[in-house]
């Protein structure tokens, strides 16, 4: 009989080769977190430049006190799903506040952002339906598609023309069609050309789901995301997002104006059969939402930091995933996996933590050192990150002739 784990032997060998001489990038342990931008890893204080803590709210005293209060009033957890005993007053309150903030009729909250995509996609679509997804879509989108049982097609990354040709050739029969996009793509930090995709929606009969996980709180005058920035909120049927980025918590949400949206509460299995988010997490998220709404200067600081990091790295000759506009995700493209691993370790030794992203989980099999900027970073920390990248690059990448 074949051992069920045999299929992972090549993967384990690759991991073993990486960790034989270097630190383990999978599940790196933060010994202590000192602030939104500082931590201790392997006994060394580092600048945290890979946390997705865009608004820097994780140590805000208001959020911490709100979480403590909820723990005292509601206990540690709900011990049940939303359709059983797991709906508490704060869950409904957060849904109302998110719906209001997003300018939508209805909101559902989920226990994780990953689960929000699973629940929405599998709840919306079934075997008669067809889903069109960007080739660079997040794993949660791919898994949601699989769970739905729907037919699916992929189109080239950020390529409305390719999607248009697929839609023109596709016969939906008696099923629906769902197109899924992301506001900011998490690996390279590029934005979807949303206005062009919305123009397609006017020509073809489909509904549109937009994952604003990395763009919520970051883009738009009010921080509602790419749909707000592009001025097309009314054209987006469903928006999905997470609490684990700008809101500094754990959980996910979906909002919509669809009159039948709430039927998903008893049709989306990942929502129906998962314990609801803890009261403390809901309380900190509610508080963070108010901060994002009332302190727009955080977005200004975030984008100033993003621009400073991008320009500093470009000036020093680094190739980035995005340079034509400021993005809070700053991905440095390395010439090989070996160089990326070596540079990641050297950055740690130089007091900088970033994300190591390797194939097959990256676009075009790129090897990336992925930074995510925070509103809480100061200019000195951004400059330290730039200088560390330059020192490390000179160790591992030969200078051009």
Residue 15 maps to which CATH number?
3.90.1150.10
Mean pLDDT of 231-251: 98
Instruction: Answer whether 39's CB lies under 8 Å from 46's CB.
Output: yes
Report yes or no on 151 lying in a domain.
Answer: yes
**pLDDT: which is higher, 201 or 399:** 201
Q: What is the CATH number of the domain that holds 286?
A: 3.40.640.10
Q: What is the average pLDDT across 372-381?
A: 98
The answer on pLDDT for 80 being more than 60 is yes
- The verdict on residue 235 lying in a domain is yes
Percentage of the chain exceeding pLDDT 70: 99
Residue 192 and residue 250 in one domain: yes
Q: Does some domain include residue 215?
A: yes
* pLDDT of 21: 67
Handedness of CA 195, 290, 241, 175 (dihedral sign): negative
| 401 within some domain | no
Distance in angstroms (rounded) separating the CA atoms of residues 150 and 264: 17
**177 and 284 housed in the same domain:** yes
Q: Full-prediction pTM beyond 0.85? A: yes
Cα–Cα distance list, 376 to 291, 297, 299, 343 (Å): 13, 11, 10, 25
Residue 91's domain comprises: 61-294
Task: Indicate whether 400 pLDDT > 70.
Answer: no
Q: Please give the tally of structural domains in the chain.
A: 2
Whole-number pLDDT of residue 16? 86
Pick from 266, 294, 322: which residue ends a domain?
294
Average pLDDT on 18-34 reads 83
Residue 120 and residue 238 share a domain: yes
Whether pLDDT at 397 is above 80: no
Displacement of CA 37 from its chain's centroid (Å): 18
d(CA 167, CA 305): 40
Query: 272 and 313 share a domain?
Result: no
Indicate if 67 and 113 belong to the same structural domain: yes
Rounded to an integer, the average pLDDT of 311-330 is: 96
Is 1 a domain residue? Answer: no
Give the mean pLDDT of 278-300.
98
pLDDT tens per residue across span 159-185: 999 999 999 999 889 999 999 999 999
Shared-domain flag, residues 248 and 324: no
Domain membership of residue 53 (yes or no) is no
Q: Are residues 22 and 81 in the same domain?
A: no
Last residue of a domain, one of 275, 294, 313: 294
The answer as to whether 6 is a domain residue is no
Q: Does the pLDDT of residue 70 top 50, yes or no? A: yes
Query: Where among 243, 277, 294 does a domain terminate?
Result: 294
In the predicted model, what is the mean pLDDT of residues 384-395?
Answer: 95
Listed in sequence order, the residues at least 6 apart from 340 whose beta carbon sits closer than 8 Å to its beta carbon are 334, 356, 358, 367, 368, 369
pLDDT at 399 > cutoff 60: no
Provide mean pLDDT across the span 131-158.
97
Output the pLDDT for position 178: 98
Judged against a pLDDT cut of 60, whether residue 245 lies above it is answered with yes
What pLDDT, on a 0 to 100 scale, did the predictor assign at position 6?
93
- 110 falls within a domain: yes
Widest CA span of the chain, in angstroms?
A: 67
Same domain for 28 and 70, yes or no, is: no
Are 251 and 322 found together in one domain? no
Q: In terms of domains, do 38 and 122 share one?
A: no
pLDDT value at position 401? Answer: 41
Name the average pLDDT for the chain. Answer: 95
Q: What percent of the chain is predicted at pLDDT more than 90?
A: 91
Residue 185: φ, ψ to 5° = -80, 130
What order of strands is seen across the sheet that includes strand 32-35? Answer: 32-35, 38-41, 44-48, 352-353
- pLDDT computed for residue 243 by the predictor: 98
Quick check: 398 pLDDT over 70?
no
For residues 65 and 137, membership in a common domain is answered with: yes
> Are 384 and 273 part of one and the same domain?
no
Average of pLDDT values for 145-167? 97
């Amino acid at each position: 009989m074949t051992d069920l784990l045999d299929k992972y032997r090549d993967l384990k060998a690759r991991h073993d080769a990486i960790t034989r001489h270097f630190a383990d990038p999978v599940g790196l342990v933060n010994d202590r977190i000192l602030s939104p931008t500082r931590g201790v890893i392997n006994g060394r204080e580092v600048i945290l430049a890979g946390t997705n803590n865009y608004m820097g709210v994780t140590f805000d005293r208001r959020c911490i006190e709100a979480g403590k209060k909820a723990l005292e009033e509601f206990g540690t957890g709900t011990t049940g799903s939303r359709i059983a005993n797991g709906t508490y007053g704060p869950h409904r309150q957060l849904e109302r506040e998110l719906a209001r903030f997003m300018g939508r009729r209805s909101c559902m909250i989920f226990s994780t952002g990953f689960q929000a995509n699973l629940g929405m996609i599998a709840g919306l679509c079934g075997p008669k339906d067809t889903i069109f997804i960007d080739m660079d879509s997040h794993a949660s989108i791919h898994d949601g598609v699989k769970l739905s049982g729907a037919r699916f097609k992929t189109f080239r990354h950020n390529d409305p023309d390719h999607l248009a040709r697929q839609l023109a050739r596709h016969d939906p029969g008696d099923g629906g069609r769902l197109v899924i996009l992301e506001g900011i793509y998490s690996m390279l930090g590029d934005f979807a050309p949303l206005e062009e995709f919305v123009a397609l929606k006017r020509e073809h009969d489909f509904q549109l789901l937009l994952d604003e996980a990395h763009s919520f709180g970051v883009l738009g005058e009010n921080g509602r995301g790419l749909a707000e920035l592009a001025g097309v909120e009314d054209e987006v049927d469903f928006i999905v997002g997470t609490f684990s980025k700008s809101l500094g918590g754990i959980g996910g949400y979906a909002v919509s104006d669809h009159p039948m949206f709430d039927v998903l509460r008893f049709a989306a299995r990942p929502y129906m059969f998962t314990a609801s988010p803890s009261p403390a997490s809901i309380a900190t998220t509610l508080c963070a939402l108010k901060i994002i709404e009332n302190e727009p200067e955080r977005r200004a600081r975030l984008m100033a930091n993003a621009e400073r990091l991008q320009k500093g790295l470009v000036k020093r000759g680094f190739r980035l995933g995005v340079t034509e506009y400021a993005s809070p995700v700053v991905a440095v493209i390395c010439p090989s996996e070996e160089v990326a691993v070596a540079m990641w370790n050297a950055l740690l030794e130089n007091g900088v933590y970033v994300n190591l992203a390797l194939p097959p989980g990256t676009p075009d099999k790129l090897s990336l050192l992925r930074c995510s900027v925070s509103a809480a970073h100061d200019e000195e920390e951004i400059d330290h990150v730039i200088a560390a990248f330059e020192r490390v690059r000179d160790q591992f990448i030969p200078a051009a002739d």
